[in-house]
A and B are shown apart, each in its own frame.
Chain A
């Protein structure tokens, strides 16, 4: 047993982090939110680059043109996507690779109806599920266009979609922890960095604990692929992403409440993901049922 990622897995994760930093760094993120070309548009060129980097084909067998890796590797790259707040129907397209032509290479953008919601409907080339009668929503998350689909009953969640979403939540929780810690080291009040004040320290420590517990849960569920562990991973990762974003906002004080600070983007995306694939209540029922 060696639970920690192997050197190859670390290298894969670092590779995607570098790619995203170069291609979708802070400036691109802000341009997507604030720029003149903002709107329902998805950065197709970036989508194809992700395809070329194997993001969507990661788990397809090599003989089918895929990378031939497994869920643990997928979880590591989705963690990076969550960290960078990468927009788009990433989970749906990843899952469609191998069944929908062009999804694996990033040529085709695929979205999926889930729980009466569908994201990126206008930008997608293919919609899985019945989106008839979809009405646009004024999405809380500026980088996730949403439609509501009336009359759709929640179906049993796709376990891999649940897990990959949890991995994105983990990445976001880690990122907001880093941001809070960095701000706490730099911002001075009463003649010292606010991170020297215990009340601030304790918020940061709790953020780390939430993120690390979520990491253990998400990584283990990726190894075992056990639906009960996956439910636990989603529950804890939702919690870490949402609560860490809130605490990060608190550490940033008034600055945290502005549009300029990125933390609201993390919080809003975390809220969207918490509503998707398996909610906390549904996950808790699965976990209770297993006792």
Chain B
């Protein structure tokens, strides 16, 4: 049980901090949250700055264009970038946190060379076309068809809840390549260019009023067979790799941001007198315990990954379950601190409160995560 950092890790942290201090003032002003092209430009600018400084794809393998850093260094990176108030991955989320790592793990040399460098440089943005109107939690029941025609697949169907689809260049797309096979066996994982003829994106408004996700209609879209990652009909296995990245590491940096917010909430409550309310004060104290422990749980998971090296394990589901609820409690507490002001949409915390509602749904609902924990970690029988 060692929570100290090696000299090497401390050096890494010091260099990173120094760089952040110089780099952040050079960032352009933050765009309006509703302005997606503006947000893409902002997020990819930051990614390019990271790339030029040698911090892009920090923990990706070197042969995938990454820096081959240890999971611990990646943790330090997340800690320091959040602490410094640097932008979160934003529009680069899918490319950096799950499509990229999946291609690095499962793609051919040619696929890695084609797709990974532009993600790292911030030149190309990815989105995730997994869910369909009738295939959410039951993802494997997806129906979007891909029929082989020479060296192309012809893809027809529709996808939904596709985050960042409006501004994406590529889509990690799940398609059914063998309709006769059992549902988990007939799926393939394709990289689809978003500008291909036949792709229509229709933005959907979220409950927060923004359009961060979209519906996607695919009408005889031709995708080269060479864009398939993994074997034909082996897409479900590839998908499990993708999802373990999504759940395992994708939310980690946000814990630091939540702790910062909690400090701001306490300051606000002290300033407006609500700190005298014992119940509210203790609620904030309790959240302090939660987020501190979630950070320690992350260090535990990272220590585990460091030892086994590779794909994060099911520990990610344990983390995601608790984190998604704690985040919602955090912003409910923010509303209690704000009082009537919490009804004002121009307050960041009000928007954050609304967006926190997605955390128990996106990337697998809490109910589905609980099934995963029960069946894969605790070994309870499959059933209904």
Using CB atoms and an 8 Å cutoff, list the residues of chain A in contact with chain B.
Answer: 1-6, 9, 72, 181, 184-185, 192-193, 195-198, 200-202, 204-206, 208-209, 212-217, 219-220, 222-224, 228-229, 231-233, 235-236, 281, 283-291
Given contacts A232-B293, A291-B266, contact A208 B371 (CB under 8 A): no
Contacts of B308-330 to chain A: CB distance below 8 A: 315, 318, 321-322
Q: Is the CB of B370 within 8 A of A202?
A: yes
A184 surroundings in chain B (CB, below 8 A): 380
Q: Which residues of B contact A283 (CB under 8 A)?
A: 285, 289
Q: Which residue of B lies closest to A181 (CB)?
A: B378
- Which residue of chain B is the closest to A178 with respect to CB atoms? B378
| B273 interface hit (Cβ, 8 Å) | no
Q: Is B303 an interface residue when CB atoms closer than 8 A count as contact?
A: yes
CB pair B282 A284 closer than 8 Å: yes
Interface size, chain B (Cβ < 8 Å): 53
Main SS of chain B's interface residues?
helix
Asked if A181 contacts B285 (CB within 8 A), the reply is no
Evaluate contact between B285 and A286: CB separation under 8 angstroms.
Answer: yes
Asked whether, in the complex, the Cβ of A231 is within 8 Å of the Cβ of B2, the reply is: no
B172 to chain A, nearest CB (A): 28
Q: Give the contacting residue for A201; candidates B290, B315, B374; CB below 8 A.
A: B374
> Nearest Cβ in chain A — how far from B6, in angstroms?
8
Q: Does B340 contact A (CB under 8 A)?
A: no
List chain B positions with a Cβ less than 8 A from chain A. 1-6, 9, 72, 75, 262-263, 265-266, 281-286, 288-290, 292-294, 296-297, 299-300, 302-304, 306-307, 315, 318, 321-322, 367, 369-371, 373-375, 377-384
What 4 pairs between A and B have smallest CB-CB spacing? A196-B383, A288-B285, A232-B289, A287-B285
CB neighbours (8 Å) of A202 from chain B are 367, 370-371, 374
| A-B CB contacts (within 8 Å), total count | 173
> Shortest distance in angstroms between B337's beta carbon and chain A's nearest beta carbon?
11
Q: List 10 A-B pairs, Cβ < 8 Å.
A: A198-B367, A201-B370, A208-B318, A216-B296, A219-B296, A223-B3, A232-B289, A232-B293, A283-B289, A289-B285
Given contacts A4-B304, A198-B367, A209-B318, 4 further A-B contacts (CB under 8 A): A1-B75, A284-B283, A284-B285, A285-B285
Question: How far, in angstroms, from A287 to B381 measured CA to CA in the complex?
Answer: 40
Chain A residues with CB under 8 A of B288? 228, 232, 287-288, 290-291
Complex Cα–Cα for A48 and B102 (A): 57
Docked CA distance A287–B302 (Å): 25
Q: Which B residues touch A204, using CB under 8 A?
A: 373-374, 378, 380
Decide: B289 and A1 in contact? CB cutoff 8 A.
no
| Complex contact B293–A216 (CB within 8 A) | yes
Residues of A within 8 A of B381 (CB): 185, 192-193, 195-196
Residues on A with beta carbons closer than 8 Å to the beta carbon of B282: 281, 284-285, 288
Decide: A205 near B292, CB < 8 A? Known: A3-B300, A197-B383, A288-B284. Answer: no
Residues of A within 8 A of B290 (CB): 213, 236
In the complex, which residues of chain B have a beta carbon less than 8 angstroms from the beta carbon of A231? 289
Check A291–B263 contact: CB distance below 8 A: yes
A213-B293, A224-B3, A283-B289 known; A1 and B380 CB under 8 Å? no
- Min CB–CB distance B193 → chain A (angstroms): 39
Neighbouring B residues of A235 by C-beta, 8 Å: 286, 289
A220-B3 contact in complex given A195-B374, A281-B282, A291-B284, C-beta closer than 8 Å: yes
- Cβ of A219: which chain B residues have Cβ within 8 Å of it? 1, 296, 300
Query: Of A2, A197, A208, which is within 8 A of B373 by CB?
Result: A208
